[in-house]
Structure 1
Amino acid sequence: MKKFVLVLTLLFSGLAGAAGGGIENDHIDIDLSDQASLQSGAKLFNNYCLGCHNMQYQRYERSFKDLGIPTELGQEYLQFTGEKVSDHIKSAIPAENAAKWFGAPPPDLTLVARVRGADWLYTYLRTFYADDSKTFGVNNKRFPDVGMPHVLQELQGTPRETYEQRMVDGEMKEVYVGIKTDGTGELSPEEYDEAMSDLVHYLVYVGEPGRLKLETTGKWVLAFIVILFIFVYLLKKEYWRDVH
């Protein structure tokens, strides 16, 4: 079993690198104690991502409890197809239909943050751009030729690659300087970046739901070890006092 898990880890790591694109990841600071961010991320995921992507190793009930969402509110605003609160978070779209429509079933996202990393996800969500040559009319700088539509476009607006004339090696050339939107989105660029930060926070949480509790427990354990060391040191001095 351990060998099987190791092989899967290496495989997914290789896939993550293969779909890297030619840009650097933007860094994001993750704070899993920020419940407002996590709740916003859960809302974004369930409204925009759950239509196609499963999160089949996470239960609604666990998310509501960990994120401080009352069960009644969670069922009203985050569950849409009559699931039980104890059910796993699964898309309503049949896998066979998804494979026909998208070329392959959309991947489960329960562990995507652990496979790809928070920085990769944050960059990916913010680097879609219009590309008429693609089936869904968009491409992605972080994951070139990605086979999915830009489902968050109504929030961001239509994003386009931006180039500027700059001197490079003594010649004027068009240089890629980033992605800008046309301003038709519901959110400003700053608000969209914050929303994507919230979504990444939620995906990081789902990848390791017990992480925040473990980190808190770890601090108490370290504090206990420090205090224990002081008493052990004093006891050692008492035992060896006559010898020295």
Structure 2
Amino acid sequence: MKNLKKLALGFVMALGLVAGVHAAGGGIAWDKAPNKTNDLAALQNGAKIFANYCLNCHSAAFMRYNRLKDIGLTDQQIKDNLMFSTDRVGDTMKVNMDPVQAKEWFGKNPPDLTLMARSRSGPNGSGADYLYTYLRTYHRDETKPTGWNNLAYPNVGMPNPLWELQGEREPLFEEIQERGKTVQVFKGWNVVKPGTMTPLEYDQTIGDLVAYMQWMAEPGQNDRVKIGVWVLIFLTFFTFIAWRLNAAYWKDIK
């Protein structure tokens, strides 16, 4: 009986956990992020955007500045464009924000972003798809403490760090009947205040930033794919050789 009670309790807790995860997911369907992890110009631009807009609050504590040489940057370019004067090229990408103050301002400490592009994968797509959608669906919401909300992450605690580039927008919804209930469906955006970039330029910039975050999460991923292709070619060639050797070995044996 005790075992049955424990099993029932575990089942209930599992259901609660699944429900919590489902509720936390929320938001709209994710857009497909462009694949730019082999585009050095895009990765370099993404690194610049990341250093100027993300490293103010978020760390990338598992990435060193000198690893950026893998995307075509020199030590001098890294020092001049991507680092604070107190940092060294061999340092990791950390911020000096006080955790206590961060919790007061945002409700919790901003997470480390090194592996964010890998950790946010879900049923709607990859972590890159999530980030690409998330960074393009901020909108003004005066009911929130920060004045901002997000369609991909409803009730987000972080304000829009790129609002000057994107501008200010408000979402447009349409009410439809679904299974006897009235639901709101997202239909588009109404521009309240234009940003310094056009919508196309902003989407391209976010694509570069997400590509950099993908690369940062696994800098060796492109090399791994190349090695995998060569391994498959070798195995195919070796299989053919083994097949012909086998035929030659057994041809005189009846």
Give 1:162 deviation, angstroms. Answer: 1.9
Give 1:19 deviation, angstroms. Answer: 3.1
**After alignment, is 137-146 or 17-26 more displaced?**
17-26
State the TM-score, normalized to the length of structure 2.
0.83
Pair 14,84 (structure 1): closer, same or farther in 2 beyond 3 Å: farther
**After alignment, is 89-98 or 70-79 more displaced?**
89-98
Please tell me whether residue 82 in structure 1 is matched to residue 106 in structure 2.
Answer: no
Please tell me whether residue 91 in structure 1 is matched to residue 95 in structure 2.
Answer: yes
Question: Partner of 2:111 in structure 1?
Answer: 107
Q: Secondary structure at the match of 1:158?
A: strand
Q: Secondary structure at the match of 2:172?
A: strand
Question: Partner of 1:123 in structure 2?
Answer: 133
Contact 2:139 2:149 (8 Å CA) reproduced: yes
Question: Partner of 1:53 in structure 2?
Answer: 58
**After alignment, is 48-57 or 86-95 more displaced?**
86-95
What amino acid maps onto 1:141 in structure 2?
L
What amino acid maps onto 2:149 in structure 1?
N
Distance 1:238 1:93 in 2: 71
**After alignment, is 77-86 or 130-139 more displaced?**
77-86
- Percentage of matched positions with identical amino acids: 41
What amino acid maps onto 1:114 in structure 2?
R
What amino acid maps onto 2:245 in structure 1?
L
**After alignment, is 17-26 or 155-164 more displaced?**
17-26
Contact 1:16 1:115 (8 Å CA) reproduced: no
Question: Partner of 2:8 in structure 1?
Answer: none
Distance 2:212 2:19 in 1: 24
Distance 1:207 1:128 in 2: 24
Distance 1:168 1:222 in 2: 52
Question: Partner of 1:30 in structure 2?
Answer: 35
Contact 2:63 2:92 (8 Å CA) reproduced: yes
Contact 2:176 2:185 (8 Å CA) reproduced: no
Unaligned runs of 5+ in 2: 1-17, 121-126
Question: Partner of 2:192 in structure 1?
Answer: 182
The structure 2 residue matched to 1:192, chosen from 186, 194, 202, is: 202
Question: Partner of 2:9 in structure 1?
Answer: none
Contact 1:23 1:141 (8 Å CA) reproduced: yes
State the TM-score, normalized to the length of structure 1.
0.86
Give 1:212 deviation, angstroms. Answer: 0.9
Contact 1:60 1:87 (8 Å CA) reproduced: yes
Contact 1:41 1:199 (8 Å CA) reproduced: yes
